[in-house]
Structure 1
């Protein structure tokens, strides 16, 4: 990651605060964040994998990962759209394990926090890089899954839509789920390699409309999602456990950086806001 010398000092100072200081500084960051939320009317969120870490979703590639439990030797083919059309059974071997994992987990505090901001009329939209649909399960309605997700499925032949419950039911009842109307193969609304991302224009519009933009649990490496935060003309807050790239979001644009466990931080913010 390349950072200019002045911004490097700011970034390193933020990365050191947790190591050399105590809870008071975390509380100060939470208080500042809470004040920013109170003063704003239009909040937008970009969430990445880090927001779901505390939910306990297993990784894909590890020794106990989903590729291993599904017995898949060629995982690179799972999300290849050309291979899916040739042999969708490989994807569905993985997808059943993924759905089982999702059924065992619950949305995190951070998911619930942003759902509550939407309920209070503060949040205008959630842009997420995740496909786990935990934002929807937390109660959020204005969710734009830029890489798609499991919340809906559709027939690749006639386009008929299936909701989450219907999609899950068919996935476990049929080796390869087929459409009730035309017999076409059903596919979860996940963006595969070889397919365009979803809602990009809408996501850019949301960023431009927002006066407070949160980046939570994303290292801002994957484009085009990483390009979106800089479209915000207001304040930008980055909450991420570990480093994030400044290739697409200059440090000078970031008002607040928090290198902390995401749920711990937003619980601290909620102490000031008392959303729930």
Structure 2
């Protein structure tokens, strides 16, 4: 790993723009369960069909009851940013990283201190009114659901929805367009903890690696491995901090 890290350090130092794409493998290190893995949420007690936009619209009360249960199964009080989140925040603060594009909805990049974060699938820490667009902190709304308010509503009377992309919804066009631009213009594209199998996020490494360096850090193989300039089959909580140490040297 040392030689590959040294090559990555050189690429980042020479780059005008470095962008990171993060997936579930960054969050699982904080204790957030994966969705599709062997012990993933969808293989346990939850059915992804219950979290489709159609179900939210047709049965918002039942949707919210299940949504609170899902949240409690995924995000315990012990969940906090790990060394990989912190390393990416450090890279940004020191000018080595332009932005983080994430497939995760847990908000841990922001908690770790990253400022330029593009959340492709939204943020589970927020809710949004489907009528007026107002956004609120999610936890008080979940507490209202626990107390029997199903479905929870905005002050305007509109339904409140988790501010995440549900099954059957498209990614926010403006956010994905900006993510695509960042990937397109990057000299180094660092894909971390992502299977790179879920579209449209899986198309970003193709843009990012067009003329620059594609580095992938993931335990399992990805469809882009044969195109990667640098490939790390290492723990993200070890690889990214080691990258920071070398950049600091």
Q: Given the two structures, how large is their TM-score scaled by the length of structure 2?
A: 0.85
1:185 aligns to 2:174 (yes or no): no
Aligned residues: 240
Structure-to-structure mapping, 1:153-172, within 5 angstroms: 153-162=127-136, 166-172=137-143
Aligned to 1:244: 222
Which residue of the other structure, out of 29, 39, 46, is the alignment partner of 2:21? 46
Q: Distance in 2 between matches of 1:206 and 1:61?
A: 28
Is the counterpart of residue 212 in structure 1 residue 214 in structure 2? no
1:136 to 91, 110, 117: 110
- Residues 68 and 51 of structure 1: CA distance in aligned 2, closer, same or farther (over 3 Å): closer
Contact 2:103 2:119 in 1 (8 A): yes
Question: CA-atom RMSD, angstroms?
Answer: 2.6
Give the aligned partner of residue 83 of structure 1.
Answer: 55
* More displaced 10-residue stretch of structure 1: 112-121 or 99-108: 99-108
Query: What is the match of residue 3 of structure 2?
Result: 28
CA deviation after TM superposition for structure 1 residue 66, in Å = 5.4
2:135 is equivalent to residue 173 of structure 1: no
Per-residue deviation, residues 87-109 of structure 1 (Å, max 9, x unmatched): 12333334324444423211121
* 1:271 and 2:237 are equivalent in the alignment: no
- CA distance in structure 1 between the aligned counterparts of 2:222 and 2:170, rounded to whole angstroms: 24
Q: 1:66, 1:97 within 8 Å by CA — same for their partners in 2?
A: no
Q: Structure 1: state its 5+ residue gaps.
A: 1-25
Q: Does 1:230 align with 2:206?
A: yes
Distance 1:76 1:151, change over 3 A: closer
Partners of 1:91 and 1:113 lie apart in 2 by 36
> Hey, what's the Cα distance between the residues in 2 that align with 1:239 and 1:107?
18
Task: Report the Cα distance in structure 1 between the residues aligned to 2:207 and 2:21, rounded to whole angstroms.
Answer: 12
Deviations 1:183-216 (A, max 9, x none): 2211111111221112221111011121111011
Q: Which deviations, in whole Å up to 9, do the C-alpha atoms of 1:90-144 show, x marking residues without a partner? A: 3333432444442321112111111112212332221111122211111112111
3-state SS, counterpart of residue 98 of structure 2: strand
The two structures have a TM-score, normalised by structure 1, of 0.78
Asked whether the equivalents of residues 50 and 240 of structure 1 are also in contact (C-alpha less than 8 Å), the reply is: yes
Deviation at 1:180, TM superposition (A): 4.1
Superposition misfits of 4+ residues, deviation over 4 angstroms:
59-69
User: CA distance change for structure 1 residues 203 and 64 in 2, over 3 Å: closer, same or farther?
Assistant: closer
